[in-house]
Chains A and B, each alone.
Chain A
Amino acid sequence: MVSPLDHKLLRDLMRMKGQVLAIGMVIAVGVMMLVMMSGLVTSLNETRSTYYDRYRLADIFAPVTRAPERLLPRLAAIDGVGVVEGRVQGSALIDLPGTDLPVQAQAVSLPDLRDPRLNAVYLTDGRMIDSDRSDEILLLQSLARAHDLHPGDRLVATMNGARRTFRIVGLAQSPEFLYTTAPGEMVPDDARYGVIWMSNSALSAAYDMDGAFNEVLLALSRGAKEAAVLAAVDRILGPYGGLGAYPLADQTSNRFITEEIGGLEAAAVGVPPIFLGVAAFLLYIVISRMVQAERTEIGLMKAFGYTNAEVGAHYFKMVLLIAVGGAFVGCLLGIFAGGAMVQLYTAYFKFPFLVFQLEPSSFIIGVLVSVLSASAGGLFVLGQVFALTPSAAMRAPAPPDFSRTGEIGRALNLLLDQPSRMVLRRITRQPGRMAGAVIGIACGMALSVSMLTIYVGFDRTIDLTFDVVDRSDVTVSFTTAVSDKTIYELQRMPGVTLVEPIRIVPTVLRSGRYSYRGAIEGIPKDARLYRAIDSALSTIALQQGGITLSSSLANILHVAPGDILTVEVREGRQPVLNLPVRGVAESLLGSPAYMDMEALNRVLREPGRVSGAYLAIDSGQADAIYRALQDMPTVAGVSLKADARNAFKVLMDTGAGAIRYVMGAVAFVITFGIVYNSARIAHAERARDLASLRVIGFTKGETAFVLLGELAAVTLIALPVGAVLGYYLSFGIAAGFSTDLYQIPAIFDPGSYGFAALVVIGAGLTSGWLVKRDIDRADLVSALKTRE
């Protein structure tokens, strides 16, 4: 048996269905965001760790120049080491018919006649290699896909200076190579970098590593101390040219994927609460006004003998239905959208399988926030209504007192007609109510502004990186640090208009307990093609005898100019240097550290060495230049800026950055929901006044002016407020989207503000139009019968 109050409840909800839907939608979208983002992050983390486990990804990687295999038992004996695997790896260049530039690759050995103990591969196509056949290889699936290569195809590659032809027998993926970036490049590009797996015997022969290895992989046993193991490994490998063992956390692919998931996580942690907070605030306002409007009914119920608790329960049920309904729909949408996003990201991260997992706490948080904020709105007003006696509650409330507004602008009064005065007085007399509406719309404006600012920030990162910092056309990297004579060789090539060398030295930078595994870039004096720039975008003159850090790196290391950094060089003699920080540079891509090239070579005691070059070329002669570069034995890789720029853009549009589009859409939905609700609420409050105006002879347009004028005024006040809120909000959201790989600046871009204002105004016009239809359709007779 359904109680009459429940009937009332259902009918009330039906009556207010437009508004109920609008509120429910705002809640749903806020909760959807929360559920989707947290589910996405949980699923990706879970999938990653399952993938790592299943394919036995090593915990520690230790490159070495050449170490005999008899060292392996010693390494295995280190306290805390569970599994050890030695292997051979080296760089290779793949010649693909139809491409001008050789593709850089890494050749990696797989043990003969057994499965690898660590870093296993996942075969996606074809079969495993037969270790008796030295020409059989597995190729990284992403490169194969990019160039339409299949098992059975032949592949020509240059290894250790020798050109050889191989047969692809299978395509593979590996958790070690989810992201593949050519040395010296920041951005992964499937088409430009590959991995070749070969039998250990074949690869050892190619790199003169018989009975030796040049990389060791270690898995830690439970409870092992990573730092102690790293130190022990370095001690053992030191005499054999150990280049410094590093943990999985510093492994390129893992670091990249961690950053990408971290970017999503930061967005998941930082952004949905903002959305949900806005939704909660709106809900509070709407519910409190809705209960206010039910004043007479509440008095009536009390007069019949219903207790405060019963009446309260009735309205609480209404609040609960809307809040829980919205949250429920939000959870469903979140699961659905999260599932879709996880699929996209699984493909993007190249996970071979997907562990879809939802974050149960997100449901609970979503529902709780919705219910609590809605209840708060309801309780606050119910308290006020309960304070009245039933008869007082049933009586039409005294007209709202506008007497204090009489003083406001007597001069203004002369200029305004009565409808305008009504608009003005509503705004000035009920500042609390108006402030609620203004803040609500301002929040919508702020969300839109900050999301649009983020869009501009992404573009800015690309422009700054590829137009201001790097003005070259082609980047060349050499196999090792070579004599600067090579630069003259490049300069002599026809079509090359400018060549600038660069010296890149892999290092670990330390300051106190903070460290960063990266590289120092030595830039020549007066460089024009690749520069360090300050925040005003002018070139920083790199001072001798010190290091200039990008701002992101300075943040990671917690250092400022004047501090001393410990620099562990991971190349050549591997000196450990103490260098002062001379300055901080603006960089939006990566976390580079700069030095004057001569000064860098001097501290390394390797004068006149370069590891790469930036070229400006005449585009008409590009093909000839590429061919010439390909024939230079010292050239390890060539990359085109246009390719890098595209790859970066693809990365930002498909990786963690892509979520910005989803968030932008959600921001617009919420903005519209807020504006529409504000209009609806105002209409509900004024329905009787508006009907009276129609009755005494105001036209539909004149009547609508009174309400829409208020909406317009509130919206116009909300725009600057929202712009200011959005300005600050954009810093938070930009920080959420920034990763170790790239930084997204919160830029003051007038266009974004203008566009966001247009969005809000558009939402206002649409809402105004929807509400005006209701004003036009108002039943004058019944509107006059209803008491306030």
Chain B
Amino acid sequence: MPEPAYRIAGLTKVYGEGRSAVHALRGVDLEIPKGEIVVLLGPSGSGKSTLLNIVGGLDRCSAGTVHFQGQNLTEMTDAQLTRYRRDHIGFVFQFYNLMPSLTAHENVELVTEIAANPMNPDDALAMVGLRERVDHFPAQMSGGEQQRVAIARAVAKQPDVLFCDEPTGALDSTTGRAVLQVLKDVNEKLGATVLIVTHAAAQAAMADRVIHFADGNVRDVVVNRKKMTPEEIEW
């Protein structure tokens, strides 16, 4: 197994207290290898999104450790977590979360302005196949196009890890496949670790590794010996 991007130990997340406490994560131990495409599968409430949020530096855990490049995320201050997201992490969301007041190009620039080692925004947009529509505002683009801008924005900083929460959730399957293709390209060209949380089990076919979640813990980890391209996936 290659060197891990994340080393997760005893990760626990409890919402609420006492009898009304909800255990979203129950002591997860997990290693996520560097440079792989990892798909997290599981029913709603199984804890996969909670894990993504904590590992992505958006939320804090109740107990446990998450090590990234030798640092423990769970001990970081808010400012350090911001720094971590800014320098290392790219996010892609189900609802794109673009800034409506900025063009596609500017949405990408939003990130390249503050990143440590950014790509040229045009290159990032070219990578997602949007060379032509860089001066359009989100309102002038389709959902798939908006999602590709969101991916361009996420990858333009050349992140170490790309987190994708239901990236195709709001898209039809054709558009969704195109988006997955972009994620695969980013993984191959930039060597970024890509973590995808999804309901669509079929998408696991493109992953290097599939992690199944159930009841707040990892049920099993399957290494995919026979990867398929997004083109070949049906869902």
Residues on B with C-beta less than 8 A from A396 are 95
Asked if residues B59 and A406 are in contact (CB atoms below 8 Å), the reply is no
CB of B93 within 8 A of CB of A784, answer yes
A399-B137, A402-B139, A781-B59 known; A421+B114 contact, CB < 8 A: no
**How many Å lie between the Cα of A10 and that of B110 in the bound state?**
40
- Which of B53, B56, B139 contacts A401 (CB under 8 A)? B139
> Do residues A418 and B106 form an inter-chain contact, with CB atoms below 8 A?
yes
Q: How far is the CA of A784 from the CA of B89 in the complex (A)?
A: 16
Known: A421-B101, A425-B101. A403 touches B137 (CB 8 A): yes
Q: Which of the residues A688, A692, A697 comes within 8 Å of B86, measured between beta carbons? A: A697
Task: Contact check, A784 vs B97: say whether CB atoms are below 8 A apart.
Answer: yes
Q: Taking the nearest CB of chain A, how far is it from the CB of B204, in angstroms?
A: 23
* Beta-carbon contacts under 8 Å, A362-406 to B: 396, 398-403, 405-406
The DSSP consensus for interface residues of chain A is helix
Report if A399-B100 is in contact (Cβ < 8 Å); known contacts: A418-B113, A781-B59.
yes
Which residues of A sit under 8 angstroms from B115, Cβ to Cβ?
A: 697
For residue B7, CB closer than 8 A to chain A, the reply is: no
Across the interface, which residues of A come within 8 angstroms of B110, CB to CB?
A: 418-419, 693, 696
Q: How far is the CB of A186 from chain B (nearest CB, A)?
A: 62
Q: Does A702 contact B (CB under 8 A)?
A: yes
- Minimum CB–CB distance from B140 to chain A (whole Å) comes to 6
B63 at the interface (CB under 8 A from A): no
Interface residues of A in 582-604 (CB under 8 A from B): none
Can you pick out 11 interface pairs between chain A and chain B where the beta carbons lie within 8 Å of each other?
A399-B138, A401-B100, A401-B140, A402-B139, A406-B135, A419-B110, A425-B101, A693-B99, A696-B110, A699-B82, A699-B86
Is B111 positioned at the interface, with any CB of A under 8 Å from its CB?
A: yes
B89 in complex: contacting residue of A425, A697, A702, A781, CB < 8 Å: A697
Answer whether residue A695 sits at the interface, using C-beta atoms and an 8 A cutoff. yes
Residue pair B139, A403 in contact (C-beta under 8 Å): yes
Apart from A401-B137, A422-B102, A702-B114, what 14 extra A-B contacts exist at CB < 8 Å? A399-B138, A401-B140, A402-B138, A406-B103, A418-B99, A418-B109, A422-B101, A425-B102, A695-B56, A695-B58, A695-B85, A696-B90, A696-B111, A697-B157
Q: Which B residues touch A419, using CB under 8 A?
A: 110
In the complex, chain B residues whose CB is within 8 Å of the CB of A399:
98, 100, 137-139, 146
CA distance A702 to B82 in the complex (A): 11
* B133 vs chain A, min Cβ distance (A): 12
CA distance A699 to B113 in the complex (A): 13
- Cβ-defined contact, A694 with B82, below 8 A: yes
Q: Is the CB of B111 within 8 A of A697?
A: yes
Contact A699 B79 (CB under 8 A): yes
Contacts of B83 in A (CB 8 A): 697
Q: Residue of B at shortest CB range from A424?
A: B101
- What residues on B are CB-neighbors of A787 within 8 Å? 95
| Residue A350, interface by CB 8 Å | no
Cα–Cα distance between A363 and B30 once the two chains are bound (Å) = 67
Interface centre among A402, A403, A694, A697 (most CB of B within 10 A): A697
Cross-chain contact B53 with A398 (CB below 8 angstroms):
no
B interface, CB within 8 angstroms of A: 53, 56, 58-59, 78-79, 82-83, 85-87, 89-91, 93, 95, 97-103, 106, 109-111, 113-115, 135-140, 146, 153-154, 157
In whole angstroms, how far apart are the Cα atoms of A780 and B153 in the complex? 18
The smallest beta-carbon distance between B32 and chain A, in angstroms, is 19
CB atoms of A698 and B82 under 8 A apart: yes
Q: Which of A401, A406, A696 contacts B91 (CB 8 A)?
A: A696
Shortest distance between the CB of B29 and any CB in chain A (Å): 23
Task: Mark interface residues in A698-719 (1 if CB within 8 Å of B CB, else 0).
Answer: 1110100000000000000000
- A: residues with CB less than 8 A from B are 396, 398-403, 405-406, 417-419, 421-422, 425-426, 429, 688-689, 692-700, 702, 780-781, 784, 787
Distance A405 CA – B135 CA, assembled complex (angstroms): 11
A residues near B56, Cβ cutoff 8 Å: 695
* Contact A781-B53, Cβ < 8 Å, known A406-B103, A700-B82: yes
| B58 and A780 form a contact (CB under 8 A) | yes
Query: Does B139 contact A400, Cβ atoms closer than 8 Å?
Result: yes
A787 to B143, CA, bound (A): 14
Given A692-B97, A692-B99, residue A398 in contact with residue B139 (CB < 8 A): yes
Are A697 and B59 in touch, CB under 8 angstroms?
no
Question: Measured between C-beta atoms, what is the minimum distance from B63 to chain A in Å?
Answer: 18
Contacts of B82 in A (CB 8 A): 694, 697-700
Q: Is the CB of B137 within 8 A of A402?
A: yes
Bound-complex Cα distance A417 to B135 (A): 16
Residues on the B chain within 8 Å of A781, using CB: 53, 58-59
Asked if B86 and A698 sit within 8 Å, CB to CB, the answer is yes
A688 touches B97 (CB 8 A): yes
A426-B87 contact, Cβ under 8 Å, with A418-B110, A780-B58: no
* A421 to B: closest C-beta gap in Å: 6
Set A405, A698, A699: member contacting B101, Cβ < 8 A? A405
Chain A residue at smallest Cβ distance from B107: A418
How many angstroms from the CA of A398 to the CA of B146 in the assembled complex? Answer: 11
- Interfacial chain A residues near B140, Cβ < 8 Å: 401, 403
Residue in contact with B59 in the complex, picked from A402, A421, A693, A780, CB distance below 8 Å: A780
The answer to whether A696 and B103 have CB atoms under 8 Å apart is: no
**A-B pairs with lowest CB-CB distance, top 7:** A697-B86, A399-B100, A401-B139, A692-B97, A425-B101, A399-B138, A418-B110
Which A residue's beta carbon lies closest to that of B82? A699
Nearest CB in chain B to that of A417: its residue: B113
Q: Determine how close the nearest CB of chain B comes to the CB of A130; give it in whole angstroms.
A: 86
Contacts of B89 in A (CB 8 A): 697
Q: Which residues of B contact A694 (CB under 8 A)?
A: 82
Most chain B beta-carbon contacts within 10 A, residue among A400, A426, A696, A784: A696
